[in-house]
Every structure is written in structure tokens, then in C-alpha cells.
Structure 1
Amino acid sequence: MRVLVTNDDGVYAPGIAVLTVFLAEAGHEPVVVAPDRERSSVGHAITLNRPLKLQKITGPYPEAVTAYSCDGTPSDSVVLGLEEIAPDIAVVFSGINKGPNLGDDLTYSGTVSAAMEGLVFGRTSVAFSLDCRDEDIERHYETAGIFAVHLLQWLSRNPLPEGVLLNVNVPNLAASFVKGVLVTRKGTRAYEGKVNRLQDPHGRTYYWVAGRPEDEMVEGTDVWAVAHGYISVTPVHLDMTHYPSMETLCSQGLTELDLEGRDRSDSTGR
């Protein structure tokens, strides 16, 4: 299968290189279009205020792999990849991200948003992330690469529902130590001390947005699964409409509000 491979860590990041190598060695044809630098946490941003450039590269990829760097966002990379480089591709793989995209993080994630852009184009789309930290001596990208190959084979027999992508998080373990695969729901991840107020050498105040992740360890969620050594696969629906609330809002009279102060019950319109 031909697969568009992208990420938000940049086209030279180890995760995307490993994913591409595993796909190529399994006999697939990966085509890489990814940002020319790290674009983490940019969400679903696209570039509308300047032109975009693509540059063909070799980098850390097998010689037979076609690869381009894009000076835009992850979503830009998917747009250019599907519109200009390989419009016949039916599958978009985003990752392997350095670090997890669990719980509410997926709303910020450029990795997940690149998969969302693939979904907008009607392609089967999957985001892959490795639950590693900066202090980890080993990062087992190969575990995610192995799973990506098996998942692609599974997807060829089991198409996803329309409008659904998969958000995959892999524990930072050798493949032999992974307990299994769980289908999960999005968990809750909050950050303690999210805004840090600091001063520069000139006494001017600046702010650093960071914080420590605090997860609600509820069984069945993505955060619980990865913390307990499982690969988490979360189906994500692009349609964010909360349908039960539509009927509630109508029954509570929202549609009867009139900005001109008229009584909508008066059939004469006065």
C-alpha cells in the first residue's frame, strides 16, 4: 500500500524515520511529507498568510522513499502531500510522535491534527505516539513501528467508519513487554502549574506555559491503558456536534430568542 507519512516533530525526527523504514521493509510504499522543523502543539493550524515551499530530501530514509520537507504546519504537509505529491494515496499515518498524545492533549497535538486533515480529505488516518519522556534512556520507536505495520494490514481488511480516525499511543517498552492492545476512550489529563510567571535579567515579566500532567487513572481510558503497559487505540470522531443537546436547546426555547425584542408567538409579526 502507498501511505502518506507525516508528523509534527519534523521531517528529520527519529520517530518518522522509524515508521517509514518499518513500512518500507514490510513491502509498502511510504511517501513522506513533513514539516522542516518541530511543529509540536500547533493543533490543526494551516498557513494562509504566506506561500509554502516543498523541498525534496534524502535524510534518514531508505533510498527508494520519496520524501519532502514542508516549511509549514503538519496539516499543511498533509494538504500538499495529498493535493500535489501523491493524490492517489488512501492512507495517512502521522508520527511516531516523541511523547504521548493522551486525554485532552489530542486537541493541541499537531500529530493528531495531521491525521484529522487526512480525514478531511476522506483518507484512512492514524496518529501514532510513543509514551516516552526526555529523561528516558531508551525510546522504543520500533515497538510503535511494528504495531503500525500490523495495524495497516488490519485496516486493509477492516475499513474504519466514515469520519473516524485512530489515535494510537504506545508504551515506551520493547515489543515483548507490551501487554496487549486495548480500544479506549479519551481520558482526562490536566496540568498542574500550567502557567509559570518568571522574570528576565532586565526585570521584565514573562510567562512559560508548561506544567506537570495529572491523569485521571480510570480503567477504559487511554491514559490508564498506556500507564499499565497496553497499546491504546482510541477512535476519534471529527464531528464534534453534541447531538443530544440540540433537542434540549430547542425545547428550552433557544430558537425563540429574538434580537429585536418581538414576541415570536405573535403571528402578526408586530
Structure 2
Amino acid sequence: MRIILTNDDGIEAEGIRILANVLQNEHDITVIAPDTQKSACGHSITIYRPLTVKEYKIDGLNSKCFSIDGTPADCVKMGINKLVDGKVDLIISGINDGLNVGTDVLYSGTVSAAIEGAIYKIPSIAVSMDRDCGKIKYETAALFIKKLLNNFDITTIGDDVVLNINVPNIDYSKIKGYKVCNLGTRIYSNIFIEKSSNDVEKVYEIQGKPTDDIIENTDVYFINNGYITITPLHYDLTNFKLLKSVENEFKNQFSLK
């Protein structure tokens, strides 16, 4: 397959290098990633200045690599429309340094890059690793993605769906299995630390830890129990369960006349 690999941790991140190295012998890989760290940038794109693209060399990779001074979504747009010749078969964003479970997906540059691929009707995967338990074992996620591509036809689930995959930070041999499941809830207890101040302004740094709501059969629950989680996502945020009832309430309560 012709695959674009991207991330939000930057072109020099260990996760994207390990994933590219595992996949490059079996697939046509192009690495296109931000030139600097872009975590939690969401689905932003760059529209008020030009983007600078540079060819980049990553040790151990034979694939073409590019850095872009933009966002993960920029990287996918540029890759599809300019940098990759021919039809792109798959977008993979990751391997991210840290989970993207629950409500993390709303902030995540990793997930947003994959969603950008889905907007272009290209099957897309976002893959992230837990960072608990010391050094991140990116090889576990890379081996899972390799096995997935070799044994599962991702096109069967639709070309506008993102598979959001999260992997425990343990050896591959210790993975209990995988679960296709709902998003859970992850809320951060944010603390704003004052770093400096003067008569005109104050400077704050945000710090915080996640507070997980451990509800059974969600990604937050299963990742904490040693399973790889797979959650299908779509960029249409319409709440279809409420659509009709909201329409009825507006008819009952509100008129422009």
C-alpha cells in the first residue's frame, strides 16, 4: 500500500521512526510530519502564512521524509495534494507519545491528522501509546499495526472512518488482546502555575493530570486492563440521537415571526 505516516510529536519523534522502520519493507511509505512538537493542536490548519516543506533524512529509513512548519492536518493535506505521487491508500498518524482515549480525541493533533485523511475519503488510523511504566515500548504498537495491515482489510469499514487505536505500554507478548469499544471519559484536573508577572501581564503554564472515569466497555477501561483498544471515529459530530427531539422542541418553543 501507498501510506502517508504523520504525527503531532514532530519529525524527529521516536514513535514515527519505529513505525516507518517496521512498515517500509512491505509498503510504499512517505513520512510527512511537523518540524516541531504540535501536541494538542487539534484540527487546526495554517491559512495566514505560507508553509515551508523540507526533505528530511531519518536514520535507518529508506522512505522519503518531509518536515513541514505547520500542523498535523497541514501535513496530511500537503501529502495528499502535493508531495505523494498517485493515489494514497492509507493515512497512519502516530505512534503518539501518550494515549488518545476518551475526550482526548477532541484536542489531539494525532487523531485530527487521521480525521483529515478520512475527510479526503482515505482510510485512516490514529495510533497512540500509553506513557506509564517507564520507557515507551513503541515496538508493541508497531508490531500490532503491521499485523493489522497484513490480516485486516481496512477498506471494509468505509473510507471515511478513523480507527483510533490505543496501546498499553507493555511488551507485545503481554497484550491480553484487543477490544473494539466506545470512547470513555478523560478529564484533566488542570492547574495554572504562574511563571512570571509584571504590572502589565502575568504568564501561566498549564499543568494537570488526567482523571479517568472508568466505565466498563470503554477505551479508558480496557486500556487500563491490558488490552489494545480500537474505536471507530467520524468527523460528523451531529448528535443523531437528539436530532429529532431538538427539532420538535424548536417547533414547539421558537418562531422567527
Normalised TM-score (structure 2): 0.93
1:227 matched residue in structure 2: 224
CA distance in 1, matches of 2:253, 2:197: 57
CA contact (8 A) 1:183 1:232 kept: yes
Counterpart AA for 1:2: R
Q: CA deviation at 1:184?
A: 1.3
CA contact (8 A) 2:123 2:158 kept: no
Residues 9-88 of structure 1 mapped to structure 2, 5 A cutoff: 9-25=9-25, 27-62=26-61, 64-86=62-84, 87-88=86-87
Instruction: Confirm whether residue 123 of structure 1 aligns to residue 119 of structure 2.
Output: no
Map 1:102-181 → 2, pairs under 5 A: 102-133=101-132, 136-156=133-153, 159-181=156-178
Query: Does the aligned pair in 2 maintain the 1:43–1:109 contact within 8 Å?
Result: yes
Could you tell me how far 1:199 is from its partner in structure 2?
4.7
Measure how far apart 1:148 and its partner are. 0.7
Q: Say which is worse superposed, 165-174 or 202-211, in terms of deviation.
A: 202-211
- Equivalent position amino acid for 2:175 in 1: V
Is the Cα–Cα contact under 8 Å of residues 163 and 239 in structure 1 kept in the other structure? Answer: no
- State the Cα distance separating 1:73 from its structure 2 match: 0.3
TM-score (norm 1): 0.89
Larger radius of gyration: 1
Query: Percent identity, aligned pairs only?
Result: 37
Conserved in 1, the CA contact under 8 Å of 2:123 and 2:154? no
Question: What do residues 229-267 of structure 1 show as CA deviations (whole Å, max 9, x unaligned)?
Answer: 1101111122111123221122223487344xx3xxxxx
CA distance in 2, matches of 1:157, 1:145: 16
Gaps of 5+ in 1: 263-270
**2:73 counterpart SS class:** helix
Tell me the matched-pair count: 255
Residues 104 and 188 of structure 1 are in contact (CA less than 8 Å); yes or no, is this contact kept in structure 2? yes
Is 1:183 paired with 2:189? Answer: no
Amino acid in the other structure paired with 2:20:
T
Which residue pairs with 1:265 in the alignment?
A: none
Residue 213 (structure 2) pairs with residue 216 (structure 1): yes
Q: Choose 171-180 or 81-90, whichever is displaced more.
A: 81-90
Specify the alignment match of 1:267 in structure 2. Answer: none
Separation in 2, partners of 1:239, 1:180: 29
- Counterpart in the other structure of 2:3: 3
Cα deviation, residue 206, structure 1: 2.9
Of 238-247 and 221-230, the range deviating more from structure 2 = 238-247
- Match for 1:240: what amino acid? L
Distance in 2 separating the partners of 1:152 and 1:189: 29
Cα deviations by residue, 1:21-68 (Å, 9 ceiling, x for unpaired): 01013x112111110111000000000000111111112341x21111
Distance 2:153 2:187 in 1: 36
Aligned to 1:97: 96
Instruction: Show CA shifts across 1:131-167 (max 9, x none).
Output: 014xx53210000000111112234366223431100
In 1, Cα distance between equivalents of 2:252 and 2:82: 44
Letter in 2 for 1:147: F
List structure 1 runs of 4+ shifted beyond 6 angstroms.
none
Moved more, 39-48 or 85-94: 85-94
**What's the RMSD between the two structures over aligned residues?**
1.8
SS of match in other structure, 2:188: strand
Match of 2:240 among 238, 243, 259: 243
Letter in 2 for 1:132: R
SS in 2 for 1:93: strand
In structure 2, runs of 5+ residues without a counterpart are none
Amino acid aligned to 1:65: S
Structure 2 letter corresponding to 1:116: I
CA distance in 1, matches of 2:148, 2:209: 32
